[in-house]
Structure 1
Amino acid sequence: MGKNIVILGTQWGDEGKGKIIDLLSPYAHYVVRFQGGHNAGHTLVVNGHKTILHLLPSGLLHEHVIGIIGNGVVLSPVDLMNEINMLKEQGVCVKDRIIISEAAPLLLSYHIAMDKAREKIIDKNINLVIGTTGRGIGPVYEDQVARRALHIGDLKNIKCFSTYLKKNIDYYNFLLSNYYHEETINYDNVIKNILEIRSDLLSMTKDVPEILNMACKNNHTVIFEGAQGTFLDIDHGTYPYVTSSNCTAGGVCSGSGIGPLSINYILGVTKCYTTRVGLGPFPTELFDEIDLHFFNVGKELGSSTGRRRRTGWLDIVALRRSIKINSLSGLCMTKLDILDGLKNIKICIAYKLSNGIEITNTPFCINDWNDLTPIYKTIPGWMESTAGIKSFNLLPLAAQNYILEIERLVGISIDMISTGADRTETIILKNPCI
């Protein structure tokens, strides 16, 4: 009996979703990206070899899996082809196993130019700098909402496509030149690059909602792969320090064309501590030797940007919010082994406002986030190694108690625990695909 499984991040991204998707993909027929773009970075480690995917679904390292890029994904065609070729050089041929929604918006060079131009503006009266990846994600989502986006399916009629492309480039060049004093985009170069890969793109383009609904009818298992994390969601995140898409479970339906009643299980992935890249609120952020421990031992550099991730203790208040927003069925805790050797471990269980009032919910307004001080519960750490352990009973007793305490605090089951980067270094208490 097939199942539709959603796997998404519960924090600010970088939770280790790629590994978990790769691990469960042997049970799946399809793995579907439903939002974001090549600002995502999913790291897969198989037998010590690291592969980082940005656009392609993480399950494609399994040769039976078909990868689908849904309409909610903003697609850089150049980066897509580069990624396909990168895997081919590693001996993994995926081009014939990729399906792209004809409604996926195209991310082109003028989107990237605009994104980078905005990030240079420091005067917040002109523009809010949030520390984006600079890859054009925001501008192309803006085009979609403003009804001027170009889509993969538009490439079928190249004459019409060329006309609208010229209009868009003229529009962006006006802004780049007059407001940001940046170099403009050359139309001839853009259309030339598109034409060179047009046939490849169209060969992968199909009706994704029809395929997914037929998969449900045929009892095939589908994994929906989230990018970024819950608190980077455009509607439910720490706005305005968010990404431009819906990273939460609601984005699955709008970004792929499958109905909500077709979803059987939603797995939330969370680190055993917390990280975020870029600017924005972070109540449990650390600036001490524990921060250095998480950074150095956890190798906390962004897989898309190479930027240093900010680190902090696990935030139960935020995690409980993610559970509610996403209707999570269960949790996967990652990077348990990074806590090895810590004498004491803290968990944020509430926030205190400046007026002394304690709250157990996350705020919405950005200024309210600045008024929070975390309230911690301290539990004993462990000196033994958990690295590579594959059975819960083999964990140090203190590590078991840590997991059980989190489970008690959040009120749902912890079904998986990652104890290392490799796909095999995982404790599976419940397989959501079975």
Structure 2
Amino acid sequence: MPGIVIVGVQWGDEGKGKATDLLGERTEWVVKFNGGNNAGHTVVIGDEKYALHLLPSGILSPGVNPVIGNGVVVDLGVLFEELEALDSRGIDTSRLRISSSAHVITHYHRTLDKVQERFLGKRQIGTTGRGIGPAYADKINRMGIRIQDLFDESILRQKVEGALDQKNHLLTKLFNRRAIEVDEIVEDLLSYVERIRPMVADTSLVLNEALDRGEVVVFEGGQATMLDIDHGTYPFVTSSTATAAGAASGSGVGPNRLDRIVGIVKAYTTRVGAGPFPTELEGEEADWLREQGHEYGVTTGRARRVGWYDAPITRYATRINGVTDLVMTKLDTLTGLERIPVCVAYEVNGERVDEVPINQSDFHHAKPILEEHPGWTEDITGVRDFADLPQTAQDYVLALEEMSGTRISVIGVGPGREQVIVRHDLVD
């Protein structure tokens, strides 16, 4: 079973880095196939905590070959900051490979991201301002800059000139900002050429050859299903394909090479940025859950919106992705609650709706229909066998498994690499 895809099934921040790290010791390759540095993974190894934004989490596992696929947009400054930070802590980063077809985030992408978001006012999407959306827009408009363009200064300059011919009009005439000089961008990008050259490869060929040899390749998605450009809560979504289908297009392997789809889900729900969120909590309940779960963005530090587990969303994501296994994280966060509500359906216009509404307006106004489950008070962070969990914690997991449409194979009971309960092997 060589091809394993890891995707978030909520709105991101589910703990995909932990799942990738769990698999990392048993795989040869870990591939990031979408997104950029607009999301972060936190991985805890012993007493050490690592926050990754652009790099695949597998870079922390000795012997694993990390790959940034063609579906990723790369901020070169962030890339080398992360690499230098890991190098300084003794992490071997020499195996990193980057697709020559991955697109580059430039200074003008970051500038446009910030000014366009401010321009939207109350209609803001809630972007991170990292330039991800504008970079993907240039990619679709066929005016983007790819990693391979850095090695031909003439082509690079032509592409930058073409992009700035349009963007400077927007910056100066609509947003009242200064024009950006072509030389400024070209010189910045060229400054990375020699450092990145050894990392660039035909990663599609490399990965297909690895799969042909029977090596295990883990495809690590950024963001999550409900932020997918097609299947998420549009327009409050990211700019890339964050579902399992994106693993094939974003890495250059055929979909028939993807053998297992692992969905990551929290024992409750969180979201960053604007958009509908039926189970969202406010006030003291929200504050308690946020503090218990340390729900602050790895990349931005923003406080996450928090709410109860949403079973219809998990069923939807399971269907969209073809999820074969769920990894449930942060079960320990719920310790201490007397009763734990779970959203089993919605009320829309006075009627019960059991699945995610197809109409965005209906979803925005959906009210959760909650079912309460008994909680537990025992510390579960040291538990490693499902049978050793408090009975009410076992019942909670089994109830969510039945509602969600697929088995819960792994349960996270703490932030550490070793703090997991494995019910079913993800590789076998």
Confirm or deny a common fold (TM above 0.5).
Answer: yes
The amino acid that maps onto 1:206 is: A
Find the counterpart in structure 1 of residue 104 from structure 2. 106
Distance in 1 (CA, whole Å) between partners of 2:43 and 2:365 is 38
The letter for the 1-side match of 2:182 is Y
Deviation at 1:191, TM superposition (A): 1.9
Alpha-carbon RMSD across the aligned residues, in angstroms, is 1.2
1:251 aligns with 2:249: no
Match of residue 131, structure 1, among 126, 129, 143: 126
Equivalent residue letter for 1:341: G
CA shift at 1:154, angstroms?
A: 1.4
In the alignment, the residues of structure 1 paired with residue 289 and residue 182 of structure 2 have an alpha-carbon distance, to the nearest angstrom, of 46
Unmatched segments (≥5 aa) in structure 2: none
The aligned counterpart of 1:46 is 45
Question: What CA distance in whole angstroms lies between the structure 2 residues aligned with 1:168 and 1:134?
Answer: 19
Aligned match for 2:181, one of 186, 197, 204:
186
Q: Secondary structure at the match of 1:7?
A: strand
Percent identity between matched residues is: 42
- For each residue in 1:236-285, what CA deviation from the matched residue of structure 2 results, as whole angstroms up to 9, or x when unmatched? 00000000001101111110111111111111000000000000000000
Deviation at 1:311, TM superposition (A): 0.2
Q: Please report how far the alpha carbon of residue 63 of structure 1 lies from its aligned counterpart in structure 2 after TM superposition.
A: 2.1
Q: Is the 8 A contact 1:106 1:151 kept in 2?
A: yes
Shift of 1:164: 1.4
Q: Does 1:375 align with 2:375?
A: no
TM-score, scaled to structure 1: 0.96
Number of the residue aligned with 1:216: 211
Distance apart, 1:56 and its partner CA = 0.7
Contact 2:30/2:218 (8 A) holds in 1: yes
Asked if 1:55 corresponds to 2:54, the answer is yes
Q: Higher mean Cα deviation, 264-273 or 287-296?
A: 287-296
Name the counterpart of 2:322: 327
Give the TM-score of the pair, scaled to structure 2. 0.98
Matched to 1:100, the amino acid is I
Give the Cα separation in 2 of the matches to 1:291 and 1:389: 26
**Is the 2:14–2:264 contact (alpha carbons within 8 Å) kept by the matching residues of 1?**
yes
Asked whether the 8 Å contact 1:239–1:365 carries over to 2, the reply is no
Q: Does 1:401 pair with 2:395?
A: yes
- The CA deviation string for residues 331-382 of structure 1, in whole angstroms up to 9 with x for no partner, is 011000000000000110000112x211111123331222211101111001
SS in 2 for 1:423: coil
Instruction: Return the letter of the residue paired with 1:88.
Output: D
The match for 2:411 is 417
Does residue 117 (structure 1) correspond to residue 115 (structure 2)? The answer is yes
CA distance in 2, matches of 1:364, 1:212: 36
Q: Secondary structure of the equivalent of 1:377?
A: strand
Larger deviation, residues 182-191 vs 37-46: 182-191
Q: Cα offset for 1:186?
A: 3.2
2:171 maps to which of 169, 176, 179: 176
Superposition pairs of residues 283-302 of structure 1, within 5 angstroms = 283-302=278-297
Give the SS at the match of 2:25: helix
Aligned pair partner of 1:269 in 264, 268, 282: 264
8 Å Cα contact 1:238-1:364 kept in structure 2? no
Q: Check if 1:36 corresponds to 2:30.
A: no
2:12 corresponds to which residue?
Answer: 13
In structure 2, the residue corresponding to 1:97 is in which secondary structure? Answer: coil
Give distance in 2, aligned partners of 1:113 and 1:364.
Answer: 34
Contact 1:36 1:227 in 2 (8 A): yes
User: How far 1:101 sits from its partner (Å)?
Assistant: 0.8
Q: Aligned equivalents of 1:365 and 1:183: distance in 2? A: 41
Q: Is the 8 A contact 2:412 2:420 kept in 1?
A: yes
Q: Secondary structure at the match of 1:374?
A: strand
Residue by residue over 1:12-65, the C-alpha shift from the partner in whole angstroms, topping out at 9 and shown as x without a partner, is 000001011111101111100000001020101111211111111101111201
Runs of at least 4 residues off by over 3 Å: none
